[in-house]
Amino acid sequence: MNKEVLLKELGHRDYKVTWDYQEELFQEIVDLKIKNRREGTDFSTPNHFLFVEHPHVFTLGKSGDMSNLLVDEAALQAKGATFYKINRGGDITYHGPGQVVGYPILDLDNFFTDIHKYLRLLEEMVILTLAEYGLKGERSGGETGVWLDVGTPFARKICAMGVRASRWVTMHGFALNVNTDLGYFDMMIPCGIKDKAVTSLNVELGQKTVDMEEVKQKLLRHFSVLFEAEIVKEKTPM
C-alpha cells in the first residue's frame, strides 16, 4: 500500500479548470487499478492532495436542490460569481477568496476502504486544526462538515464537505472558511440547511485576517497523522 501523498499547491485557480484537473488525476488512478486487476499486476497507485483558492463560485451537488440558490444568473454575474452543477455528494456550497479548499484524491485501498471513516477523519482534521486556535469544532448529526456551538441557537458552519468516490478513489473534499466574505452565503441556503448560520475563522477570532498558509500547514499535519500518510510536496504541472 502506498501511503505517500503528493501535495500540489495550485494557488488561485478557476473552479472548472481545477475540477478538470481533479478528474484527470482521479481517472489516472482508476485506470491503473483496472489495468492492475485485468493484467494481474500490482503497480502502486498514487495519492494526491490539492490546495486551491477559487474565485467566487457556487456549486450544486448531484443530490442538491436548485431552489437553494436564491439569485438568478444576472445577480451572480453582478457579484463576479459563477455556478456549476457537479458530481459530488451534498447540496449547494460556495467557494471564494479567503477560503482554504482541499481536494484529497486518494486511493482508499492504500489506507482503508470505508467512506464513512474517510469523511469522519476529514472532519477530525479540521476539528483538531480549529482546536489549535482555541475553537471547539464539532460534528452535527446527519450534517457533514464542521460546526461551532452545535445544539444551540447559535450553531454555525465553518467547514463544508462533499466528496465523490468510485472504486475507492476519492475526489472533491472540504472548504474551510478562513478569511471568507460571508456576504456571498446570503445568496444561497448553505448545504440546504435553513436554520443555521455560516462563519469563518477570522470572524471567530476577531481578527481582520488569519494566516492561510499557517492554517494549511496545521491541516496537513493532522491529515498526515490521521491517515498515517507521508506528505510530499510536488510542483504542479498546471
Distance set, CA 30 to CA 1, 27, 84, 104, 214 (Å): 15, 5, 24, 15, 33
Q: Which of 191, 212, 219, 220 is catalytic?
A: 191
Q: The sheet that has 82-85: what strands, in order across it?
A: 82-85, 57-60, 92-95
**Please, is 190 exposed, middle or buried when counting C-beta atoms within 10 Å of its C-beta (0-12, 13-18, 19+)?**
buried
In 3D space, the residue among 44, 159, 156, 48 whose CA is nearest the CA of residue 109 turns out to be: 44
Instruction: Kindly report the number of other CB atoms within 10 A of residue 62's CB atom.
Output: 13
Query: Cell numbers of 94, please?
Result: 460556495
| Residue 191 annotated among the catalytic residues of the structure | yes
The Cα–Cα gap between 102 and 140 comes to: 21
Task: Provide the annotated active-site residues.
Answer: 191
